[in-house]
Amino acid sequence: MFVIGVDSSTQSTKALVLDAGTGEVLGRGRAAHPDGTEVDPRAWWRAAQDAIAAATAEAPGPIAAIAVAGQQHGMVALGADGEPVRDALLWNDTRSAPQARALTDRHGAAELARRTGSVPVASITATKLAWLAEHEPHHADRVDQVLLPHDWVTYRLTGRACTDRGDASGTGYFSPADGRWLPDLLADAMGGRSPRLPEVLPPTGRAGHADLLDGAVVAAGTGDNMAGALGLGAEPGDVVVSLGTSGTAFAVAERPFADETGMVAGFCDATGRFLPLVCTLNAARVLSATAAVLGTDLAGLDRLALDAPPGAGGLTLLPYLEGERTPNLPEATGTLLGLRGTNMTPENLARAAVEGMLCGLADGVDALRRTGVEVGRVLLIGGAAESAAVRAVAAPLFGVPVEVPEPAEYVALGAAKQAAWAVGGAAEPPRWPLRTERREPAEAAAGREVRAAYAAARQQVHG
């Protein structure tokens, strides 16, 4: 039996055809998305069709099922005709930061954390709807239903508006603890308007059938982080740190979380459990931007960073190049501290970029610990996890063993696993092999010094 997993991410759609029994990848497809923080969602549907067509061209047989995982939080606002009333606002569009503050002031951080698992930041869907209502009321008046990016692609595959607990839990108007929408919070965000919301399906729910794939079953789909955890087979004690466009640290848990400080978002996962998560806006692009400044590529950045000592000769980079979500500093910019004539070298700047990016995520892992999450090991995934410098620096900063799974599209793999689970009818999702490279937290003292310097720099600049 063959299944397809789709990852509709910020930058592209990836599609994988897998053998549902073994997890072997048998076909691949990819199509790029437009750049920017607001995008016509019809571009995602075109990309999905292209990526699926390329992947199925390599498939050895008919496709039994498909599932779509997508970037979380994006606002897809549809009119009564089922078409977008405006371009979707993506998770990394920070224009709704004032609305996030207003929602928090109106309801209180503790109350919103209790009800929704999260304190609003500019990434969250509810804040984007509040921005729409305030700045584009003519568009807000036309909104008939609100979907998330993965819901939109599933909707185009099946004609049915549905979602899952995982992605729904990132909207700001869903209760992870109760598994239901909170329409009063939606109406409050939208200035009294009450658009329709998609049906929430269970983890093995079926959204319908895809004519595009000769009637293949379409599973519920989920958010990208939830799919990543499923693709890795993460269990309690594992913390997944994903270094893509954004950086995330998340863990599978048996109980819901509510952190009124706003550091940890209390999401649901794709299996019926929960996924406490910390997100930073700045991850892999910190490395690519630094490489560009140094006139090199990512391989060159690796070489430079590995030639510098821990602590980068006293340089510390606060890598808030696109604002920041955790800590909640949407208007922040990047700051390089500790410059002296003796340490202004390409090697130290490269090392400071790697350390700064990872320190932000290490703070996230510490925040998970404070909520009671057990941290036995870190699973490091995402494009930046392929960096030799990142692999060398990570374990001392996280202070626990770091395992780097072999490079793979784990979000698409998780979606494929969900598809196999939905069509197969088993009590648990399939267990596919996971091969990793393990790094022990050597040079722990040096890692603590780097973390301390980073914390001091953040306090100096942002209080």
Q: What share of residues in the chain are helix, strand, coil (percent, to 5)?
A: 40, 25, 35
List the one residue out of 325, 420, 413 whose CA is nearest residue 7. Answer: 413
Query: What H or E segment, with its residue span, contains residue 127?
Result: helix 125-135
In contact, 256 and 197? CB cutoff 8 Å: no
CB-facing half-sphere around the CA of 164: CA atoms within 13 A = 37
Q: Provide the phi-psi class of 23: left if phi over 0, else alpha when psi is between -120 and 50, else beta.
A: left
Tell me the CA end-to-end span of the chain in Å, nearest whole number: 56
Based on the residue annotation, tell me whether 224 is a catalytic residue of this protein. yes
CA distance 348 to 315: 7
224, 238, 259, 363: the catalytic one is: 224
Q: Dihedral (C-alpha) 287, 292, 297, 298: value to the nearest 10 degrees?
A: 0
In contact, 91 and 122? CB cutoff 8 Å: no
List the one residue out of 339, 328, 451, 318 whose CA is nearest residue 397. Answer: 451
- Tally of residues, the chain: 463
Q: Give the pair of three-digit tokens for residue 197.
A: 């919301």
In contact, 379 and 239? CB cutoff 8 Å: yes
In contact, 109 and 120? CB cutoff 8 Å: no
Note the Cα 276 to chain centre separation in Å. 12
CB-facing half-sphere around the CA of 248: CA atoms within 13 A = 25
Report the catalytic residues: 224
